[in-house]
Chains A and B, each alone.
Chain A
Amino acid sequence: MRRQVSVGRTVAWVLLAILLIVTLFPFYWMLRTAFSDNTQLPGHPSSLLPVESTLGAFKRVLGLATIEEAQAQGGSGAAVNFWLYLRNSLIVATVTTVCQVFFSAMAAYAFARLRWPGRDKVFALFLAALMVPPIFTTLPNFVLIKNLGLLNSFAGIILPGAFMTPFAIFFLRQFFLGINRELEEAAMIDGAGHRLIFFRLVIPMSAAPIATLGILTYINSWNDYFWPLLVGQQENVRVLTVALGVFRSQTPQGGPDWAGLMAATLIAALPMIILFLAFAKRITNSIGFSGIK
């Protein structure tokens, strides 16, 4: 009996180890390729270490190499400037996250802590919007943004997500509901209005869930591809994900600039990887909530 259990456990540990390797290997391969010399890559396709390790790919992608250098290394020679796209992604993700979380928190407060006729019906309506698949609203939203003359502007990319998402309101409402009434009533007796209670009591007490939501929103916004692809094609507002798609289609079909491509993906993924390393525990623990409740 005992031996059988330990055999089972050994097998399970082996499976877990395989899983972790399968999960992490592509990240490693991205790293290994990004530091390789592109012209030498095809000769050593399975080398575990970078082939002729060089920073050439990063220079190419960040616009630090001349056109001739880039072409000699197998790049397309087309101007790419990932610094610009990095800046654009930072602007879009930051503004979207700050506005969306703040306005959603205000709405969640109205749904959780205020009492007014029709409240639950209005909340149900907000939740019902979760059912509508994004593509269905995306088409008319594109027409709207186009008619407003906001194509290829940060406003056009940011506006649809800036005010709220049903999920954000739902998420925060759950936490606001749990706040102790007595604290709030004590503050009211002291003459505090709702504005003060919201800023001084509810927001500080919900700092943890607000931070979690903020991180998740930031990651989603950073990773978004479809909407910025539609409304932010021009260079000056192009975000990293869209730039990656463009970069991929620019690389010569004969011998793609794999090293450059992987350097570019690494640059695009790095901020999220850092964010994740910093908040792994918080993000991981929030998964149970977002799925089950």
Chain B
Amino acid sequence: MTTTNAPPDTDRSHGKQAAPPGKRRSLGDLKVAIIFLAPATLGFVVFYIWPTLRGAYLSFTEYSLLSAPKFNGLANYERMLQDSFFWNALAVTVEYVVINIGVQTVLAVGIAMVMYRLTKSITVRAVILAPYLVANVVVALVWYWMLDFQVGIVNQALGWIGIDPVAFFGDSHWAIPTVAGINVWRHMGYTALLVFAGLQTIPSYVYEAAEVDGSTEWKTFWRITLPLLRPVLVMVLVVTMIGSFQIFDTVAVTTQGGPINATRVIYYYIYERAFTRFDFGYASAMALVLFVILAVVSLIQLKLLRARESDLG
């Protein structure tokens, strides 16, 4: 990322102003910096660093919240290998992520293209962003109502075109696609705006050149727009994938893991283990595995991003 954004030259001149020459100069504004950083550092150490280390430690213990954690080596991890619920949770989560990201990305690119060609209206952009600003819980409840088996409007509408009602949340085949679909509705506008911002960075002469060469719209999209959009798309994928691995609220409010484990995603399973079974050590171990998965996924994607950038020169 942009850790070294400050131009070194202006930095140095500023340092001269702030501190008199001599011994103190090498320390720069350290004293002032300590004061300005104190509250943030307190929060960072207490609620980020320390819990990260402690979480790693707890994952090697047996801990029920009632007595002190007992070190038990790799027992939690061995148990995980045997735990069919864990593997099911992982599989369900991956299914969710694939459906969610796949549908959302395709829709978002489509929406962004349509907006880019038709209108730069801030109202249109605001409207499609609206679902993103409402709480997950609210979104989940509204759709829970609209997708109700008996009186939900969606099943009514399906009835008009002669389709039998679907038990969206009650049928184990439909439950995950349904939860994924709800979150696509919530996030597609946000994702589309990210892609839209990317589209605006593509210089117009590229398109003009394509037009002169007689390229059709379709060809232009596949051969020019999409490749030039790739860095943005990879970034969008990193952000949305990390987010969607952590699906919880929608499941907690609608299906609570059911029917028959069909929506017991990894986040929900960790939550259940920790807070309803007080199996804190095991929950921490699963959280660490999730951490590793997310780190690997984002490293791969960031690597792809870098490769692309150098390609484009």
Tell me the A residues contacting B by CB distance below 8 Å.
8-9, 12-13, 15-16, 19-20, 22-24, 26-27, 29-30, 33, 41-42, 45-46, 103-104, 106-107, 109-110, 112-117, 119-120, 122-124, 126-127, 129, 131-144, 146, 159-160, 162-164, 166, 169-170, 174, 177, 181, 184-185, 188, 194, 198, 219, 222-223, 225-226, 229-230, 240-241, 244-245, 248, 258, 261-262, 265, 268-269, 272-273, 276, 280-281, 283-284, 287-288, 291-293
Contacts and interface: CB of A to CB of B under 8 A. Distances in A.
A140 B54 contact: yes
Contacts of B29: 114-116, 194
Given A123-B3, A131-B295, A135-B246, A42 B39 contact: no
A115 B253 contact: no
B169 interface: no
A200 to B, nearest CB: 15
A161 to B, nearest CB: 8
Interface stretch (B86-94, B98-106, B172-180, B283-291): B283-291
Interface string B1-32: 11111100011111101100000001111101
Contacts of A177: 5-6
Interface stretch (B77-85, B127-135, B202-210, B219-227): B127-135
B135 A116 contact: no
A23 B130 contact: yes
A126 B52 CA distance: 13
A116 B6 CA distance: 13
A127 B1 contact: yes
B76 to A, nearest CB: 13
Nearest to B42: A163
A252 to B, nearest CB: 14
Kindly state the interface size class of chain B when it binds its partner. Answer: 35 or more
A29 B146 contact: yes
A188 B17 contact: yes
Nearest to A176: B6
Contact of B217 (A8, A13, A19, A104): A8
Contacts of B12: 115
B1 A114 contact: no
B236 A291 contact: yes
Contact of B145 (A230, A245, A261): A261
A120 B122 CA distance: 37
Interface of A is mostly: helix
Contacts of B291: 132-133, 136
B193 A288 contact: yes
6 contacts: A116-B30, A122-B37, A124-B3, A129-B52, A265-B137, A288-B196
A20 B127 contact: yes
Per CB-CB distance, the 7 closest pairs between chain A and chain B, nearest first, are: A163-B43, A288-B197, A107-B40, A223-B135, A140-B51, A114-B29, A115-B28
A132 B143 contact: no
Contact of B39 (A103, A120, A138, A194): A103
A223 B136 contact: yes
B44 interface: yes
A240 B135 CA distance: 10
B242 interface: yes
B265 to A, nearest CB: 11
B124 A16 contact: yes
Contacts of A115: 11-12, 14-15, 18, 28-29
Interface centre among B37, B245, B290, B294 (most CB of A within 10 A): B37
Nearest to A169: B40
A280 B47 contact: no
A287 B42 CA distance: 29
Given A15-B114, A116-B33, A129-B48, A281 B122 contact: yes
B118 interface: yes
Contacts of A281: 122, 126
Among B14, B141, B198, chain A packs the most CB atoms within 10 A around the CB of B141
A234 B115 CA distance: 46
Contacts of B118: 9, 12-13, 16
Contact of B27 (A116, A159, A194): A116
A16 B274 contact: no
Contact of B138 (A41, A170, A181, A244): A244
A139 B156 contact: no
Nearest to A89: B135
Interface centre among B3, B52, B58, B111 (most CB of A within 10 A): B3
B30 to A, nearest CB: 4
Contacts of B245: 133
Contacts of A169: 40
A12 B116 CA distance: 11
B58 A265 contact: no
Contacts of B37: 106-107, 110, 122
B198 A225 contact: no
Contact of B249 (A126, A140, A184, A226): A226
B298 interface: yes
Contacts of B239: 291
B267 interface: yes
Contact of A133 (B138, B145, B197, B294): B294
Given A103-B40, A181-B13, A272-B135, 9 more contacts: A27-B130, A46-B156, A136-B288, A143-B54, A163-B46, A223-B137, A265-B137, A269-B135, A288-B196
A265 B133 contact: no
A13 B197 CA distance: 20
A234 B280 CA distance: 22
A148 to B, nearest CB: 10
